[in-house]
Amino acid sequence: MGPDPAVAAVRVAVRRALTGLPPGALVLAACSGGADSLALAGALAFEAPRAGLHAGAVTVDHGLQEGSADRAAQLVRLLADLGLDPAGSIAVTVGTEGGPENAAREARYAALDQAAARWNAAAVMLGHTRDDQAETVLLGLARGSGARSLAGMPPAFTRPEGEVRYLRPLLGVDRGTARKACLAMGLEPWDDPHNLDPGFARVRVRREALPALEKALGPGVAEALARTARMLRDDAEALDGLAQRALADAEADGEADGEGGAGGGTDGQGGADGSDGAGAAGGGDGGDGRTGEGGGLRVEVLEGLPRAVRTRVLRMAAVAAGSPPGTLAAVHVEEVDRLVTDWRGQRHVDLPGGVRAFRRCGRLLFGPA
């Protein structure tokens, strides 16, 4: 007799995600103790040895609730009992930048990066399910964030801040199946009270918006949203590839278009990588001689790009200059785009993370405000 159907579904998803990892590599499950990540940890403990891999787990103690340290210690013991080795917890301090959800997410990923580096893990698995994907798509739609946001969460990614490969095996598994699998494996999940707090936008989407859509449109809304995300991701990845090449073209040396003179500088400062130092802080209202012709992005190249590609180029440049991708919104990118397409002598555009975009001497520059 085979395993419970829910357990089988989760194991198959994990097995597929393990394909291609180097033999003998360590894979970590990021586990909060909730049903989704606990089912993921149980499936990884089963599948990894059969794939010739080692399995471990890590939990992050955000310190936001009383008794969180004790819960983390209990969870580590449970993960170790599953055969996950190493198994450990990392306590973090959650800041305030970008709101509580963004701050907690950034602290969590920094801790996971740290754990993966310490244990030399080849990948870290996250327990996001199809329902999480549907919520992400709805949140992106409400914010008007564009196709990349509507493409939802990718099944695999590497953060710009590090080299850790993250995998999301359960994006094709619904939350109910993950919970059933957890219980069928004899694992008792912990339900985070924050998941019931209507002060969080995602909780309102989960408990109010999606049920209302299901009531109005019929069942299957979450599955349809996740399917839409998969299709849009293909489009977004193709456009991102074009944008990467366009970014390289815009960064290449070329003759400035001269709306403010050649600038007089030759130090090549002012690039999209945020290395422009004092030159960027001077604003975009005049050529002070600190920005050379080789710096920044060439406006003449940007002007010739389709808007879908150009805005991606501008976003990439802003993120490379230090603007946090989690708080850099479409409205910010649109204002930067006006420096290219609707230039009327604007001084600059201030972006999240203390980054400023401005135009000078035929170049679009990003630097510290």
Q: Which segments are annotated as binding site for ATP?
A: 32-37
Q: Confirm if 79 and 109 have CB atoms less than 8 A apart.
A: no
Residue 331 per-residue DSSP state = H
Residue among 156, 313, 109, 148 nearest 236 (CA): 148
The set of residues, in sequence order, having a beta carbon less than 8 Å from that of 218 and lying 6+ positions away, is: none
Mapped onto helix, strand or coil, the DSSP state of residue 23 is coil
Residue among 55, 52, 157 nearest 113 (CA): 157
Half-sphere exposure of 314 (CA within 13 A, CB side): 33
* Residue-wise burial string across 210-222, b where 16 or more C-beta atoms lie within 10 A, e elsewhere: beebeeeeeeebb
CB atoms within 10 A of CB 195: 13
Annotation: binding site: 32-37
Report how far residue 86's alpha carbon sits from residue 109's, in angstroms, rounded to the nearest whole number: 18
C-alpha distances (whole Å) from 193 to each of 11, 61, 198, 203, 347 are 27, 15, 11, 11, 46
Q: Confirm if 290 and 265 have CB atoms less than 8 A apart.
A: yes
